[in-house]
C-alpha cells in the first residue's frame, strides 16, 4: 500500500518539456547537474523573503513559524507530540526549516530540538533524531500557502484500494485540523485548509524568546521539564 517510490507528477514533466523548448528562459544549472531529477522552478519563486528556504540548500536553517489556514501555528513538543496553537507567540511554534534536497525540507522545533516526522500510519510525531520520516516535500499552492507532504509515505493505487474508481496516487500531507489536532495523513488533501501552511518570519517577541533560549539555561530547562502531573501518573503504573 505504501512505498517510498518517487513521484513524477505530470505537471512537472510538462514544465520540463516547456523549459526545454525555451532554452534561454532560465539558467538550468542546478537542474542539469541533477540528471533525472524533476526540477521545481516554482521553488525559486519561493526563494525570496516570504519563508523561502531553497536558496539555503546546504546552508544555515531559517527560523520560521508555520501558520495553518485553520488559524493554528504548528507546534513541535518535547514530549513527542505535534499539534497547533492559537497563541501568537508560543515557543514550540518557532521552527528551523532546512532544505535537505531540492524541494525537500527538514522542520525542527527550535525549543524542543525535535524534528517533525510522519510514521507509516500517517501520524505526525516529534522525532528526537533526524531520519527519513523527517523529510517533507514542500510545494507552493494558491495564495502563498505551502503544503508539506511526506517524502517517504503515500497512498499508492493497487490491491484493495484499486476497486474504487479514480484511485490516483495520493500524497500524505502535514495537516492541523480546526481543533488544533493533527489529522491522520492518509485522509488529507492538498486543497484542504488543514493542509495549507503559511511560512511566517519571527516577530520581535519570538526573537526575544530565541535569544533567551540561547542565553538562559533556567528558562530552557523550565520549558522542557515535563508537567509534574504526567510524571506522577507514569510513576503510578
Under the rule (CB under 6 A), what is the footprint of ligand NAG? 77, 79, 81, 83, 180
Nearest distance from residue 42's CB to ligand NAG, in Å?
A: 32
Judged by CB, which is closer to ligand NAG: 81, or 200? 81
Nearest distance from residue 174's CB to ligand NAG, in Å?
A: 15
Nearest distance from residue 78's CB to ligand NAG, in Å?
A: 8
Tally the residues of the chain: 237
Q: Strand, coil or helix: what is 171?
A: strand
C-alpha dihedral sign at 169, 173, 175, 181 = positive
**Cβ-based neighbour number of residue 235 at 10 Å:** 7
Nearest distance from residue 221's CB to ligand NAG, in Å?
A: 17
Judged by CB, which is closer to ligand NAG: 62, or 114? 114
Judged by CB, which is closer to ligand NAG: 76, or 171? 76
In angstroms, the Cα distances linking 162 to 7, 56, 85, 119, 188 are 18, 40, 38, 23, 18
| Contacts of residue 35, Cβ cutoff 8 Å, sequence gap at least 6 | none
Judged by CB, which is closer to ligand NAG: 83, or 147? 83
Amino acid at each position: 500500500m505504501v512505498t517510498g517510490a518517487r513521484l513524477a507528477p505530470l505537471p512537472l514533466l510538462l514544465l520540463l518539456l516547456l523549459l526545454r523548448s525555451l532554452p534561454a528562459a532560465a539558467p538550468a544549472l542546478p537542474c542539469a547537474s541533477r540528471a533525472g531529477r524533476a526540477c521545481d522552478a516554482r521553488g525559486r519563486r519561493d526563494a525570496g523573503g516570504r519563508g523561502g528556504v531553497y536558496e539555503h540548500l546546504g546552508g544555515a536553517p531559517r527560523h520560521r513559524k508555520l501558520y495553518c489556514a485553520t488559524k493554528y501555528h504548528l507546534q513541535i513538543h518535547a514530549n513527542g507530540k505535534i499539534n497547533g496553537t492559537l497563541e501568537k507567540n508560543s515557543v514550540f511554534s518557532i521552527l528551523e526549516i532546512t532544505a535537505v534536497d531540492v524541494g525537500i525540507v527538514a522542520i525542527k522545533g527550535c525549543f524542543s530540538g525535535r524534528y517533525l516526522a510522519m510514521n507509516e500510519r500517517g501520524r505526525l510525531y516529534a522525532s528526537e533524531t533526524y531520519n527519513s520520516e523527517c523529510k517533507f516535500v514542500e510545494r507552493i499552492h494558491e495564495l502563498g500557502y505551502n503544503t508539506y507532504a511526506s517524502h517517504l509515505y503515500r497512498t499508492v493505487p493497487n490491491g484493495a484500494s484499486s476497486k474504487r474508481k479514480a484511485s490516483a496516487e495520493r500524497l500524505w500531507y502535514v495537516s492541523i485540523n480546526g481543533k488544533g489536532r493533527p489529522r491522520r495523513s492518509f485522509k488529507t488533501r492538498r486543497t484542504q485548509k488543514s493542509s495549507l501552511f503559511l511560512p511566517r518570519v519571527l516577530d520581535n517577541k519570538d526573537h526575544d524568546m530565541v535569544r533567551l533560549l540561547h542565553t538562559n539555561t533556567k528558562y530552557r530547562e523550565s520549558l522542557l521539564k515535563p508537567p509534574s502531573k504526567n510524571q506522577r501518573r507514569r510513576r503510578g503504573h
